[in-house]
Chains A and B, each alone.
Chain A
Amino acid sequence: MDLVVLVAFSSWLAPTLASVADEDKDYDSAFHYDYESLRIGGLVVAVLLFIMGIALIVTRKCTCSNSDKSRPRGPDVESAVPKDS
């Protein structure tokens, strides 16, 4: 999981690093930072993380309900039908 996070981070880093690299030539111009792409990149990551989290929960729900269905039914079936001796 951490790997995924790292990848996500680095992909979001790349454009801003590039933009910083472009600009460090002119030392006298006013300090400028590309907040717009930073914002977009950050939001994209946030949304991605959010969706991944939701996806995790949804998959969990599925397996959970499956196992829940199978588990209580087992003993029920046994007790519902008495074995006449």
Chain B
Amino acid sequence: MGYGRSDSYRVATTQDKVDKSPKKKKGAKDMDDLKKEVPITEHKMSIEEVCRKFQTDIVQGLTNAKAAEYLIRDGPNALTPPPTTPEWVKFCRQLFGGFSVLLWTGAILCFLAYAIQAATEDDPAGDNLYLGIVLTAVVVITGCFSYFQEAKSSKIMESFKNMVPQQALVIREGEKVQINAEEVVGGDLVEVKGGDRIPADIRVVSAHGCKVDNSSLTGESEPQSRSPDCTHDNPLETRNVAFFSTNCVEGTARGIVICTGDRTVMGRIATLTSGLETGKTPIAKEIEHFIHIITGVAVFLGVTFFILAIVLGYSWLEAVIFLIGIIVANVPEGLLATVTVCLTLTAKRMAKKNCLVKNLEAVETLGSTSTICSDKTGTLTQNRMTVAHMWFDNQIHEADTTEDQSGERGRGRRVPLFDKSSVTWLSLARIAGLCNRAQFKAGQDALPILKRDVAGDASESALLKCIELCCGSVRASRDRNKKVAEIPFNSTNKYQLSVHETEDVNDNRYLLVMKGAPERILDRCSTILLQGKEQPMDEELKESFQNAYMELGGLGERVLGFCHVMLPEDQYPKGFAFDTEDVNFQTDNLCFVGLMSMIDPPRAAVPDAVGKCRSAGIKVIMVTGDHPITAKAIAKGVGIISEGNETVEDIAARLNIPVSQVNPRDAKACVIHGTDLKDLSQDQMDDILRNHTEIVFARTSPQQKLIIVEGCQRLGAIVAVTGDGVNDSPALKKADIGVAMGISGSDVSKQAADMILLDDNFASIVTGVEEGRLIFDNLKKSIAYTLTSNIPEITPFLLFIIVNIPLPLGTITILCIDLGTDMVPAISLAYETAESDIMKRQPRNPFRDKLVNERLISIAYGQIGMIQALGGFFAYFVILAENGFLPTRLVGIRLNWDDRSCNDLEDSYGQQWTYEQRKIVEFTCHTAFFVSIVVVQWADVIICKTRRNSVFQQGMRNKILIFGLFEETALAAFLSYCPGMDVALRMYPLKPSWWFCAFPYSFLIFVYDEVRKLLLRRNPGGWVERETYY
């Protein structure tokens, strides 16, 4: 954000570097401005007016002087790159973001405590220093890890740049010159031809069969023709404007440049996309909430014991060190690494299932998603026109539109096959094959027909493929019926015809075939082919034609009519010169054969995926640039508008009443047109999003897509957007999670997205939702597990302060638990399978269902943690008692115990202990306490496997978890028994019996939690669930 786009409009671009402060203020306003509709008005002006506005000439073009002047005024015709964040800033964000803050604070406090100790004591204990260093190391290592993991770069602007045309043909001072596209200025007269990229937004002044591919801008699959007349108020829909960086597919056109660079429609999208600020991911918010809780607990404990220490008569400095010690002890050192690794593992797992996650935190987002806004073209549909229906022999036939021609349409439905032997069908197929200019590109015979590339427009290609599939080689048929004459399609005729020789060598007649707009074709026909016989066209047949036409049109399909006639030999003998300019042959009294209708059909996996999203409580909204009828048809086809649900218009039509009389509350579904959307107020918009469950937005501009996403977010929804085009990119960026298509998606959309579906399969989203929900649950378990051991780690220090016993657990041993033994079991919980069908429950409510809540803290700290602490202390007292220090002797012994000069400390039996001997016993106790925590954590990891089910229901199939149990025990034994550990980490070998001190407590934890979960399952919604279900 923060670069004034509209400023540079008025002043030269060199201004860019001058004052940055006023720009920042304007940043917000500019973004609002960008979100508004395109301010182009030139399409409504006459050509003369446009010329006057830019002081240009319709024939001569701009003068060179004028062009140079404009170039200085407007700047080059290029997209301004956004200010890029340097790599080190990104790295620092990883280093100081989210969870790391907690650890940094801990580290700083540690150094502070050490500094105090160093200043006051002669021989300060190094514990705090080590702890500080370890904490720093943990943050830095994890920071590096996630930095390299993500390594995502916001190269959005660069991918836009790739779309920019390099050269442009302009007319200046009456001469055609080829110049760099960057030098094109407003008012330039530009010529484009088929295959070119449009160099700027141009107002077409003349065109010859010009068609442009606007799919990157509007999402329409088929090329749009361009002509000089204004056909629509909306600049995006009118025929006389062609847009920057769209492709001219065929024909030629000449136009006046009306916008250049960032001011073009595409430039606005680019600026909008790269300027959008995205909020925090849901998981980041949860972690923040977690940090608040942990900090709260830590500060509360710290301050309480600080006061207690003062009351007990410690000095201020000692109390401060205790305060810091307690706060730091609350920091779960290993959790940052655990969370990062868990998310990474899920990301890897999703990548295996073809969901590539660019941002680690986005792994969970799909799981929280409550609304999916999906683009239609290319996401829900295959983005290729396909013949869907045919009408011949007075009957509608369905064609197979599935991607693999399997006939499967999801939910077990199959396409009924039609009779391919009908003579009418053969005639229809022949017309469709002959009256067709599309052809397969060379050298693709090995490929399956549907995968071959076709040269020609979308609907002709669809016909070609359909015929090739059903009736064999079209080329052979064309060879047999040599083309004699042809009139290509144009918008005034609305038909295309060609004249062919017949297959039969002895038959000297010519065959005339014609296809075009059905009503035009019907007007030219006097007979109709039924079951292979020509019959006169009567009113009844005309009506049935009308019905079929209406029905197919109502399905959002593009309908073409086909007819043919055998030209009589006496009028058109062999060698007759057909003149296509001045038509000298019969073009009426033809024989109508049938209709074929085409649509961009939905992908096979989509209906099931939409159904699964529904049952998972996720609202699926279609947002498309395409026409409402087509959009609605596809929405119905894929189940976004489910069967039986009606829109207001449907109800009105069914009850035969005006739309205004229908209660909008009755209609669950609704289809909203982009132009209506423009006039809606924010409240009306909220109203629609809240009250309709099945919504289709049609004819939406990229800006409107963004507004829709923002509307959903305003209502508290977590929004996922799927899309593949440039027009989706602002919405993709703004969404909580943008999902782009890996194969068909444009680079821009992939850059703006957080997740990429590598196989373009919408169904992968369902996988994403499932994995996201699973990892959320498992992170809860992992955190519950990790936090539990905090209590047995803190309580020794607290008792050390309050009752003055020798320290039961040292800093090093705490670190061994947090960063050593606890790690693998905590991570292994990420591999836990779901307890129930997570796709059957509602998405979590981000305000209510938190990752870490009070109940989790109460279970971990208040219940299980306390039992663990008891286990640890039991081992501690057992060892000291075996050595002669009975618990009663220990209370208040601390000052003497830690006194180096006291070498004759007596135990309960009167034995005297030197300082060094005492310390060995103390460190043996540390080791025993440590081992006891490992033992009770066995039980903890097993109870944390499930939140509601019993372990016996869940089973122990998680092998990583069993591995974790083995490894933590092995590590504990290693630390205790490895020679040299007494010097390195001050850990001593334990007698075997001391291992078993904590076993009863471990068992107690298991039983306690099983009983709790049993009660929880027995009384759903009861006290136990309300108070302890995390």
Contacts and interface: CB of A to CB of B under 8 A. Distances in A.
B469 A85 contact: yes
Interface in B964-982: 964-967, 969-971, 973-974, 976-979
Contacts of B1023: none
Interface in B991-1017: 991-992, 995
Interface residues of A, number: 34
Nearest to B981: A39
B962 A50 contact: no
Contacts of A43: 973-974, 977-978
B959 A39 contact: no
Interface string B819-863: 000000000000000000000000000000000000000000000
A38 B448 contact: no
A79 B406 CA distance: 9
B65 interface: no
B469 to A, nearest CB: 7
Contact of A85 (B407, B963, B979): B407
A50 to B, nearest CB: 4
B820 to A, nearest CB: 13
Nearest to A20: B991
A65 to B, nearest CB: 11
Contacts of B469: 84-85
Interface size class of B (residues with CB under 8 A): 35 or more
A28 to B, nearest CB: 14
A73 interface: no
Contacts of A17: 992
Interface string A13-24: 100110000000
Contacts of B995: 9
B967 A50 contact: yes
A25 B414 CA distance: 89
Interface string A51-85: 01110110110000000100000000011001111
B446 interface: no
B400, B417, B956, B992, most chain A CB atoms within 10 A:
B992
A39 B321 CA distance: 36
Interface in A20-42: 33, 35, 38-39, 41-42
A84 B473 CA distance: 14
Interface in B391-420: 400, 403-407, 417
Contacts of A9: 992, 995
A3 interface: no
A24 B943 CA distance: 42
Contact of B966 (A42, A56, A78): A56
Nearest to B415: A85
Contact of A68 (B352, B964, B973): B352
Given A39-B979, A85-B417, A60 B959 contact: yes
Contacts of A46: 969-971, 973-974, 977-978
B561 to A, nearest CB: 25
B91 to A, nearest CB: 33
B71 interface: no
Given A43-B977, A53-B962, A60-B963, 20 more contacts: A17-B992, A33-B991, A38-B977, A38-B991, A39-B977, A42-B976, A42-B989, A46-B973, A49-B967, A49-B973, A50-B967, A53-B966, A56-B962, A56-B966, A57-B959, A60-B960, A82-B406, A85-B400, A85-B407, A85-B470
29 contacts: A1-B956, A1-B965, A9-B995, A16-B992, A17-B992, A35-B989, A38-B991, A39-B977, A42-B989, A42-B990, A43-B973, A43-B974, A49-B969, A49-B970, A50-B967, A52-B966, A53-B967, A56-B959, A56-B962, A56-B966, A57-B959, A60-B963, A68-B352, A82-B406, A82-B448, A82-B450, A83-B404, A84-B405, A85-B470
Closest 3 CB pairs of A and B: A42-B977, A53-B966, A46-B973
